[in-house]
Amino acid sequence: MSNNHRILIIDEVHPVLLELLAGFEVIYLPDIKLIELKEAIRSASILVVRSKLTLTKEWIDRGVKLKYIGRLGSGMDNIDVVYASSKHIICENAPEGNRNAVAEQTVGMMLSLLSNINRSSLQVKRSRWDRKGNQGIELRNLTVGIIGFGNVGSRLAEVLHSFGCKIIAYDKYVSGYGSNEVEESSLEELQKRADVISLHVPLNKYSLEMVNESFINKGAKPFFLLNLSRGSVVNISDVVNGLESKKIRGLALDVLPNEKLDTLNDKESEEFDYLVNNENVIVTPHIGGLTKDSYKQLAEVLAKKIKKWDENNPLVN
């Protein structure tokens, strides 16, 4: 292992990451302010981030010695990967670390929608006892469509298999993953057959607001929708309209296009109020990948990747 690389960590991380990177010079500044970061980033050859900073072209240019950017999470949408690559900077994330956590929350939200757990609980808290009105649907008799068959999507399929439901999956980038448990599908076929659609795609120009009015109307039957990927994968206005028209039977969101609630504009506030007051909607604060277990596993995965990269790319003075 090279002792020449200087690692700058600017977000709070599990202590195991610092332990595993003890052979490097590690600068751990989880409370660093942006004005201080402008100078600190200049001497780092490896930068570790979570969500504090959007690594734009300007920030990447400030990192004049940067060779590697590690994201302690699954998404890469807060890093200008294309520009970083043009400067020969390697960018890696750690989706293996929280794939199970997201898959488990997806199943939990799915069962809550199908069995009306959240809705009936809210009603009981208001002294309303409605058994018949909260009659549920069994997952084993449904077809679940998974869009995005990467780390989370594939793990979700493994977890769902035990429920006995039909599982179909579509992925724009990979193929050949079909098996006895999972049927590989086109997007059109998935929209035709799925009773439940669960989104697990990265945010890019292809997935930006992919769930819009057109997508919703292409569903051959009303469906339950879950989004545990990125908020901007869905067009919230169109999803609200889908709920109103009953094309969407129930909705579970762990992410929103704007998660800074104190910055919502008038339209966003109106839509947010509609969602949180709709008994057929579950909204959670982006916690799908945030478990005590995944917090540690993300650190372990990223540390392993950094050390593997360093073995092949030692910094020579």
Q: Return the CA Rg of the chain.
A: 21
Q: Are 310 and 70 in contact (CB under 8 A)?
A: no
Q: Edge to edge, what strands does the sheet with 223-227 contain?
A: 183-184, 166-170, 143-147, 196-199, 223-227, 248-253, 281-283
The Cβ of residue 178 has, within 10 Å, a number of other Cβ atoms equal to 13
Structure tokens at 77: 């949408």
Report residue 205: phi and psi, to 5°: -65, -20
Name the burial class of residue 126, with classes exposed (0-12), middle (13-18) and buried (19+) by CB atoms within 10 angstroms of its CB: exposed
Residue at token pair 């690389």? 5
Taking the C-alpha atoms of 302, 306, 308 and 313 in order, what is their torsion angle to the nearest 10 degrees?
A: 160
Distance CA 275, CA 272 (A): 5
State whether residue 168 is helix, strand or coil: strand
Distance CA 96, CA 310 (A): 20
Beta strands 6-9 and 46-49, pairing class = parallel
Structure tokens at 250: 């129930």
The helix, strand and coil proportions of the chain, stated in percent and rounded to the nearest 5, come to 40, 15, 40
Catalytic residues: 230, 268, 286
Q: Are 11 and 48 in contact (CB under 8 A)?
A: yes
